Chains A and B, each alone.
Chain A
Amino acid sequence: MKYSMIVDINRCSVCYACVVACKNEHVGNPYPPYSYPQPDRDQEWIRLMEEEKGKYPYVKLYPIPVLCMHCNEAPCMEACPIPDCIYRTKEGAVIIDSTKCDGCKSCISACPYGVIFPNEDRNICQKCTLCMHRLEQGKEPACVEACPSGVFLWGEESGLEKEMKKREAMPLYREKGTKPRVYYVGLPTPTLAGHVIDGKSLMDMPGADVIITDTRGSSMRRKSNVAGNFSLDNLKMDTAYTVKIEHTGYLSKTIENVLLDIEYKHLGDIKLFKAS
């Protein structure tokens, strides 16, 4: 049975419970045959990468929990010169065998995610084990259990597939092509956002249609949410977009030539006026 994980960063409130839970689980505690104790400092088997985008006062924070991706095509496994030192468990976890590892750090250089750490005292390399010792007891990984916000969706790979499709979950740094087992929802992509309000009452306008079109004519459509906000992601940087906002009973509004010059571009308050 192989496990997988969806990390929904839209729900993350930057509380660091997952990061410290990992330390609580692993620092000083060995879980043979999967891991030596994590040292007191300088190893974050899961870290929180706070990616800040946008310009004051329209800021967007993407808190991205980064742990070992337990890649299906793991560069660390290929890079390791010692036979069977890095192996995969039937649960899908990529494990460094501490009894075989000699601390050569080849895996560290090979890993595109920066989630393997040297332990100079013991001459080994260490990383997240997907909490194999807990999986064997039928528990979820410590970081998953610690999250108060439901950021981590954890389960059997096959059971998560539908959800992954539905939520357009993506690996972090997809371009690295390592086929991770950890998928993300809400990763930072070039985004255009705005707040639609009634030009007279200045109140939020939910349900407005926002259509953006690039210079080649391909377009995307979104509805503004309960607070009048819209956000279109997965756009292209340095591209000019035409933004059209429509709402029944209102004159539609077109903003030409919106250049996506920063990764999170917010158009501020956009006023629509009644048709009469």
Chain B
Amino acid sequence: MENQQGNASQSDRVLINAMSSAFGSLAGGDNLLRAIKTEEMKEREKERVYSECTFGGAVLAHVKYDRVVKTAPLTIPENINQYKIEAKGKVFEPPRRCLMDMWAQAYRRWVYDTSRVRYPLKRVGWEPGGKGKYDNRGIAEFVRISWDEALELVAGEIKRIKEGYGNSAIAYLTHTTHTTWGTIHGMGTEYTVVPRFLNILGGYTEYVPGTSSWAGWVSGAAFMYGYWWANGTSEGVDSFADSLQNSRMVVYWGLDATKSTRMYLGHESEVWRHWVREAGIKTVMVSPEFNDTAVVHADRWVPVYPGSDAALAAAIMYVWVTEGTYDKNYVETHAVGFEKFRDYLLGKDDGVPKTPQWAEKICGVNPETTISLAREWAAGPTTLNCQLGGACRGWNGHEWTRMMVTLQTLQGLGKPGVNMVTWGTISGGAPFDKSVHVPGYSTGINPAANKLYSNPIPQRVHTLNISDCILKPPVKWKGGTTGAAYWWEEFFREYSYPVPGYSEIKMILRMGGGHFASYANVNWRAEAYLSPKVETTVMTALFMEPVMRYADIILPACTDFERNDYSMLGCGGLYIPYSGSANHQIAIYQQKCIEPLGQSMSDMDIFYHLARKMGIEDEFSEGNTEDDWIRKLFEKSTTAKFISYEDFKKKGHYIFPFPEKYEPTPPLRWFYEKGGGLATPSGKIEIYSRTIADFYGENHPEIPPVPKYLEPKDGPKSPQAKQYPLIGFFPHPKFRLHTMMENVSWLRELHKKRTDGREYEPFWINPVDAAARDIKHGDIAIVSSTKGKLLASAFVTERIIPGSIRIFYGAFWEPEDPRTPGSLDRGGSANVLASNEPMSYHAYLHRVEHMMVQVRKWEGQR
């Protein structure tokens, strides 16, 4: 219990101290203080400031008495040049500080949360050698053990499993749900340090987390214009300057930019959206919800049913085609296969013209609104702000993304003012000095290593089938990309588990954010851990999250405040090479500002210790200490040209001045000028994809060569809709990052409903749907789908389209009985409801955003 209490008592001391000087002596406290006030105390009393980079952006951590007492924004001195944009007779310049969001503001509360795992733990009943009890996973208690014992046990189990079954029996599970920010620790460890450790040992069964936030882009849009290396999202740098200067309208489609772009950098992009308004550019929001972006940034809200957006897009293009208001020349010179798409729009192939009236029946948009939107769009350069999360993670997400690319293609993608991007996160937007290279988590320590190791084990499991692989092998599947698909062949490759000659999984090594609440079908996911086939499960953990209950051994990791690292604000490294997602390019030496809490240690240190136990320390570390890795990465980065390593360490950050002479490169302008050169077979935008046609044929019902609106298999017209008539959608959460910070009381009290001693996750429901179910604002309701059921509190609002409910995913899963699959979840974890069915035959990827659900008032009946 070292949280508030600890904090308060320490604070008291400070208060008493200060007050005693201000008001004279206070009984007791004053004397006490005098007694302990040594020189050391005086030293600790001084406030120290450290540079940090968190997943909520760059901050300065203020430390007093060895505790972080505050996180404050990192500021940009007046003498450092920053970008300015002239547009519409105005000059726009960003604030001279990093814009912290609520996560960065609450970061210290998170670091000190009572649920931190402080000591290595062992499940009661578990024994090494596969001899223990398995039937208490999920409900067992843990006992504290020493690091020595813990490392001995883990190393012993790795050896035993490896020798007994072969390396393929070890599965390493990590998830794109993020831990703390870092290049060598945290996310960097997840991506590079652990695989290195296991590869030196001879490899492991890879777990493919699949991309979920970008699923539709990589499986859809990328086939049209390439950008495989950016998960199918296109160029971002200089996009909003282009919009401010040249666009007549900005359409936000299928995302809540204000909420979702905070990931990695806080509110850096919020000012850009304000500038759009200030520049007099009109704005539209297409979304099932009147979201936070719409509240302040939309002139018009066009509500659509979740998962139906592609129909609206088709109808808009129908209007353009029939009225001749698309850019015919551009389409001829820059795209291939438009004719086939036009035939689809006009109904030449299926007898159904994709008119606004046709679309209305699917997406619920009044035909006049569709026509109005289509004509406004075609009347001048329009920006389409649409990439992150939202609709691309849902039913047939790849058709939505292909429709989005097609919309902009028909208006001349790359022309001044005609671009598409989400401003913020890793897809960028700001002017950006491309000569600056600073490593990020996606390449981790690799650039600094002399030798890299690859995984010789061909066996893999996928996030959509891991439990099936463990519980009922064999399993076969096609596709299933890694975090980012680098080429389209990835989609057509076939896999099976187990791979002949390789053992099934016997040991799970897991690190990263809590995946139970972040990935679809939680009940099914938890079932795998109950299997006696899994003899040992080792997890590294910051907090005692729900998934940890299923561990056999828990190794306590520390947060980014408790170790050193080197990274750049908002940059994931190679993920998206030039992001321009923040207003300033800042290289950060993430300074260790407090000692690791309890006996926790950095992610990398844990594997250093394990490497030593396994006798592979030399290969693993190449003699590098933490500081060596950081220094080597630093020396390979642009930062080294401007500041010495010692000064950088001391100062904590280096802000790259914006170049005095800057040549903007608006997104896809080069393509507009050149008419070719994209990473597609033709080098042009492929509205008709030959690659898809060759592989799937001309008329595949789930993946046609031209984008189409496809009826979702388990959507509102499916048989299950009788029992589950509402469309549930589960977007990226506002008050947490996936599951991260779900435990922070400061944030929980802002949105959770507190009643009968519990806190309930809220869900949005339209008054019409609530009244039909006799549900009032604040009532607790049971929400169910074919996959599970949960309790949540009704937030009755006009801000959501009728016939639909919204729950943010990521709430901690709290099943009534962790050992009974399908047991009622009191935590309101939306992914209990979501299906782990792949998005389509083509895309073996998450479609976690949409699911048919039913809601009824909770009166104690399960």
Chain A interfacial positions (CB closer than 8 Å to B): 10-17, 19-21, 23-25, 27-30, 32-33, 36-37, 39-42, 44, 48, 52, 54-57, 59, 61, 63, 99, 145-146, 148-150, 195, 197, 201-204, 225-227, 229, 269
Contact = CB atoms under 8 A, between A and B. Distances in A.
A13 B23 contact: no
B8 A28 contact: yes
Nearest to A229: B299
Contacts of A150: 274
A25 B552 CA distance: 39
A18 to B, nearest CB: 9
10 contacts: A13-B258, A17-B99, A20-B746, A21-B100, A24-B109, A28-B8, A37-B15, A40-B4, A41-B745, A56-B798
Contacts of A30: 11-12, 14-15, 18
Interface string B43-83: 00000000000000000000000000111010000000000
A106 B513 CA distance: 47
B296 A11 contact: yes
Contacts of B270: 13, 15, 148-149
Contact of B290 (A59, A99, A201): A59
B348 to A, nearest CB: 26
Contact of A146 (B105, B258, B300, B745): B105
B625 interface: no
B15 A36 contact: yes
Given A226-B282, A227-B282, A195 B100 contact: no
A204 B371 CA distance: 12
Contacts of A225: 299
Interface residues of B, dominant DSSP: helix
B455 interface: no
A28 B69 contact: yes
A29 to B, nearest CB: 6
A39 B102 CA distance: 18
A35 to B, nearest CB: 9
B4 A20 contact: no
A52 B18 contact: no
A24 B303 contact: no
A58 to B, nearest CB: 8
A12 B100 CA distance: 15
Interface centre among A25, A28, A33 (most CB of B within 10 A): A28
Contacts of A27: 4, 7, 109, 746
B292 A23 contact: no
Contact of B296 (A10, A32, A42, A59): A10
A20 B102 contact: yes
A273 B281 CA distance: 25
B786 interface: no
A227 B300 contact: yes
A225 B273 CA distance: 18
Query: Max chain A CB contacts within 10 Å: which of B69, B297, B768, B798?
Result: B798
Contacts of A148: 95, 99, 101, 266-267, 270-271
B443 interface: no
Residue among B71, B73, B271, B296 with most chain A CB within 10 A: B296
A40 B113 CA distance: 11
B19 interface: yes
Nearest to A43: B749
Nearest to B744: A20
Nearest to A9: B296
B4 A56 contact: no
A120 to B, nearest CB: 14
B752 to A, nearest CB: 11
A25 B4 CA distance: 14
Given A28-B69, A148-B270, 15 more contacts: A13-B295, A15-B102, A17-B99, A20-B106, A23-B106, A23-B746, A29-B70, A59-B798, A146-B100, A148-B271, A204-B282, A204-B372, A227-B282, A227-B299, A229-B300
B230 interface: no
Given A33-B22, A33-B23, A202 B375 contact: yes
A15 to B, nearest CB: 6
A225 B99 CA distance: 30
Contacts of A29: 11, 69-70
Contacts of A59: 290, 301, 798-799
Which 3 pairs of residues, A with B, have the shortest CB-CB distance? Answer: A227-B299, A148-B267, A30-B15
B102 A16 contact: yes
Given A25-B70, A40-B4, A41-B745, A56 B802 contact: yes
B108 interface: yes
B368 interface: yes
B797 interface: yes
Contacts of A54: 798
Contact of A41 (B102, B266, B749): B749
A68 B608 CA distance: 52
Contacts of B802: 56
Interface residues of B, number: 72
A44 B748 CA distance: 13
Contacts of B15: 30, 32, 36-37
Contact of A19 (B267, B379, B750, B766): B750
B101 A17 contact: yes
Nearest to A30: B15
Nearest to A60: B295
A204 B746 contact: no
B102 A19 contact: yes
A99 B19 contact: yes
Nearest to B21: A32
A12 B73 CA distance: 20
Interface string B255-279: 0001100100011001101100000
B140 interface: no
Contacts of A197: 372
Contacts of B599: none
Nearest to A195: B300
Contact of A20 (B105, B290, B296): B105
Contact of A57 (B102, B274, B301, B797): B301
Nearest to A197: B372
A204 B296 contact: no
Contacts of B12: 30
Interface in B84-138: 95, 97, 99-102, 105-106, 108-109
B201 interface: no
A48 B747 CA distance: 13
B851 interface: no
A15 B11 contact: no
Given A17-B100, A17-B102, A202-B375, A12 B296 contact: yes
A145 to B, nearest CB: 7
Contacts of B719: none
B840 to A, nearest CB: 30
A32 to B, nearest CB: 4
Contacts of B23: 33, 99
B208 interface: no
Contact of B105 (A24, A32, A42, A195): A24
Interface string B790-820: 0000000111111000000000000000000
Nearest to B23: A99
Interface centre among B18, B368, B749 (most CB of A within 10 A): B749
Contacts of B109: 23-24, 27, 40
Nearest to B258: A13
B274 A201 contact: no
Central interface residue in B292, B293, B802, by most chain A CB within 10 Å: B292
Contacts of B735: 16
Given A28-B11, A30-B11, A59-B799, A16 B296 contact: no
A176 B597 CA distance: 49
A229 B106 CA distance: 38
B100 A203 contact: no
B339 interface: no
A149 B278 CA distance: 12
Contacts of A28: 4, 7-8, 10-11, 69
B327 to A, nearest CB: 19
Interface in B420-469: none
